[in-house]
Structure 1
C-alpha cells in the first residue's frame, strides 16, 4: 500500500505534465505578430472615406531612376456609428474598423506616424461622430516620367493610394471642408525644377485590364506638378551641339586639292557629336522613344553627315573639273607647241629657199643665159635637198592643215 505522500507526488507530477501540455497548445494556437485580422463592418454598409492631404516637402526628383521623395500629411475620415457617445480615450483603435490605406507606388518608407481622432459632426443631427486616421509619411515614390518634351517637360508627381477593401465596401471622396495644400519654401530641387502651387486630388477608377484583378478596389491620386528649368541643358548641351554643327562649315576653308584634311575635319566633328550624345544620354533613363534633345542631336548629326556628303561630292566635282581643265591646258600647250614648231620650220624652209634663189656672181641679173655652176655635182645635190625639204614641208602642213 502506498502512503498518502507518494500519491500526492504522483498527482502533482501529473498536473505539471497537464499544465505543460496546455501551454504548448496555447503557444501553437496563438497568432503571431505578423498575422493581421480585419473584420468587416457589422452593418455591411458602404463607407465613404474623405481624404485630405498637405504636402509638407518635395525632395529629390531623379529623372534617371524615375523617383521622387516627399513628406506628406494625410487625413482619412469616415462616419463610425459604433463610436456614438464615446471619447477618444475610451476607444480601442486596434479593434476598430479602418479603411486599410496602402501607398501603392511607395518604394521605401523612411518615417511613418499614425494617429487616431474622434470628431463630432456638427452639420448632422444623427449624432454619429467622425473617426479620423492621420498619417505623417516620408517616403520615396516611383513615378513614370514622360520625357517626350525633354528638357521642356512638365512632370506629374503622383502619390497613389488604394484601399484593401473592394469598391463594394469603400469609396473615396475629396474632403471639401479644407483645401489641399503644398509648401513651396521647403522644395529642395529648386535649382532644377519649378514647383507649382496647386495640388490635384481625386478618386480614380481602377482599370481591370491593367491590374488583372477579378475585383475592383478604390483608388485615390494626389498629384503635384513640376516644370523643368531649361537653363542648364540650353547652355551646356544645346549650345555646344549647335557650335559643333556650325564648325562643320570650317571644312570648306581647307584647300579642295587636299581632300584628306577636309575629310579629317568633318569626321572629327561627327565623332565629337556622337560622343557628346552618349554623355547627354546619362541624364535620361533608358527609353524607347526620342526626346526633343535627342531629336535636335539627331538633326545636328544628320546635318553634319549631310555636310560630309556634300563635301565629298564637291571634292569629286572640283577634282574632276580641275583634271579636265588641266588636260585641256596640256592639249592646248601641245597644239600650240606643234603649231609654233611647224611655223618656225616653215620660216626656216622659206629662208633657205630665199637664200638659194639669190643671184650668184656667175649668173645674169635677169636669169637668162645662166651659166653653169663650177660644181655640177653640188647643184644636183642642192636640188635634191630642196625637193626633199619641200615634200617634208607639204606633208607636215597637210597633217596640221596649215597652208604654206
Structure 2
C-alpha cells in the first residue's frame, strides 16, 4: 500500500567483475551488486514481528509481501545482459524491520574517459544509481554501515589495465541550473572504482617508432649540402611515414576536443620533420660550398641540442603530471584498507559486558537465601568468572524468548 511522506533509502554498490574496458567507444562491461535498504513502515509487508523468521529464511522472493519499491535505475547503463533481484528482511530488538533490496546485474556502462594523460592515464569506472520516484517521495543516501567493495581477483582486463582496490561513493544532488524541473529527480548515488592504463605497450610501439624517425632524420645530413634534392626527398618520406602512423594511432582513440600527451609528441615529431625540409630548401640558396658546409654543421648541432632539450622537458612534464593521479589513487587505496581494517576490528572486538541485575536469570536457576549470602562473600573476580560461566545459559534463554542476539547491547 502506498505510504505518504519522504522515504530514506541507503544505497551501496559492489563491483563483482570487470570484464572489458573499451577506450574507443568509452564503455566498460561489469557485473555489479546494488544493495538498498530502508525501514519498513506500518502496513507494509505481511505478518508481524513474531512471524518474520519464515520470511527471513525465504529471502529470495522477488517483490512479494507488499514491499516499498524504490524504483532504482542506472543512468549510464547501455545494455543489460542479465539481472536478478530479491528482498530480505531483518528485525531489531524494538520490532523494527529493515528491508534490503539486492539487485545483481551484468551489462555495459557508459563512461566519459579523461584521456589528457594518455597513455599513462587513470580512469574512473562509475555506476550512477538514481530513482524514478519524485524527490518528495524518496531521498537516496550513501550506505554508512558498510564500505562498497570490489573483487580485484575477478578482473579480466588486467592485460591493459591495473585495478585499484578502493571504491568511492558520493551523493550528487540534482543541479538547479539543469533543464529538468527542480525537485523532479532524487539525485544520484555515484560509485567509482579506478583503473590505470599499462603504458609499456604504447611506449614501445608508438613513442619508440616516432623516436626512431627522429634519429633517422639526422642521417640525411650525410648528403652534401649542395645535394638538396636527395635531402628533401628523404625528409618527405619520413614525414609521410610519421603522418600515416599518427593517423593509425588516432583511429584507436575516441573523437575528443583536446590533445593527449601522445598526440603532442607525435605532432612535435611531425613539426620537426617539416622544419628539416624548410632548412634544406633554404640551404639551396647558398652557392659557396665552404660557407654552406659551415652553416650545415651549425644547423645540425642546433637541431641535436633542440631535440635533446625537447625530450628532456617533455619527459619531465609527462612523468611529473601523470604521477599525481597515480599517487593519489595509491593513497586512497591505503586509506581504504585502513578504514576496512578498522571496521573489521570494530566488528571482531565487541566485548559483551554483563551486569547480573540487568539480565534475567535462566528458568532452571534457583535463587535462595543461602546462595545470596554466599554471593555476598565472594570476591569481584570470582563473581566475574561465575557471570562468564553463566553467560551461555542466559544467552540461550534470551534467544528462546525470540530476541535477536546480534542486536542486544550489554552495558
- Normalising by structure 1, what TM-score? 0.65
Please, what is the CA RMSD of the aligned residues?
2.2
Q: What are the equivalent positions in structure 2 for 1:235-314 lying under 5 Å apart? A: 235-314=204-283
The aligned counterpart of 2:372 is none
CA shift for structure 1 position 117: 0.8
Q: What are the equivalent positions in structure 2 for 1:5-16 lying under 5 Å apart? A: none
* Residue 212 in structure 1 maps to residue 199 in structure 2: no
The aligned counterpart of 1:74 is 34
Evaluate the alpha carbon distance shift between residue 229 and residue 323 of structure 1 in structure 2; reply closer, same or farther with a 3 A threshold: closer
Which residue of 165, 170, 180 maps to 1:202?
A: 170
Report if aligned partners of 2:132, 2:185 keep a CA contact under 8 Å in 1. Answer: no
The aligned counterpart of 1:60 is 20
Which residue of 57, 82, 87 maps to 1:116?
A: 87
CA distance in 2, matches of 1:253, 1:94: 87
Q: Please list the CA deviations of residues 94-143 of structure 1 after superposition, one character each: whole Å capped at 9, or x if unmatched.
A: 74321110011111111100001111135xx3x22011110111110000
CA distance in 2, matches of 1:208, 1:140: 29
Evaluate the alpha carbon distance shift between residue 324 and residue 171 of structure 1 in structure 2; reply closer, same or farther with a 3 A threshold: closer
The aligned counterpart of 1:361 is none
Report if aligned partners of 1:57, 1:71 keep a CA contact under 8 Å in 2. Answer: yes
CA distance in 2, matches of 1:270, 1:302: 9
CA distance in 1, matches of 2:124, 2:180: 25
Alignment coverage as a number of residue pairs: 280
Report if aligned partners of 2:6, 2:136 keep a CA contact under 8 Å in 1. Answer: yes
* Residue 189 in structure 1 maps to residue 157 in structure 2: yes
Q: Please list the CA deviations of residues 5-45 of structure 1 after superposition, one character each: whole Å capped at 9, or x if unmatched.
A: xxxxxxxxxxxxxxxxxxxxxxxxxxxxxxxxxx742xx22
Q: Please list the CA deviations of residues 25-74 of structure 1 after superposition, one character each: whole Å capped at 9, or x if unmatched.
A: xxxxxxxxxxxxxx742xx2211111123211111000000000110111
Report if aligned partners of 2:226, 2:289 keep a CA contact under 8 Å in 1. Answer: no
The aligned counterpart of 2:397 is none
Q: Which has the larger radius of gyration?
A: 1
The aligned counterpart of 1:180 is 148
CA distance in 1, matches of 2:155, 2:291: 71
- Normalising by structure 2, what TM-score? 0.64
Q: Name the SS of the counterpart of 2:241 in structure 1.
A: helix
More moved, 107-116 vs 205-214 = 205-214
CA distance in 2, matches of 1:316, 1:250: 22
Q: Name the SS of the counterpart of 2:177 in structure 1.
A: helix
Q: Name the SS of the counterpart of 1:256 in structure 2.
A: coil
Evaluate the alpha carbon distance shift between residue 210 and residue 243 of structure 1 in structure 2; reply closer, same or farther with a 3 A threshold: farther
More moved, 203-212 vs 233-242 = 203-212
CA distance in 2, matches of 1:59, 1:324: 64
CA distance in 1, matches of 2:245, 2:178: 39
CA distance in 2, matches of 1:324, 1:242: 31
Q: Name the SS of the counterpart of 1:118 in structure 2.
A: strand
* Residue 167 in structure 1 maps to residue 131 in structure 2: no
CA shift for structure 1 position 249: 1.4
The aligned counterpart of 2:305 is none
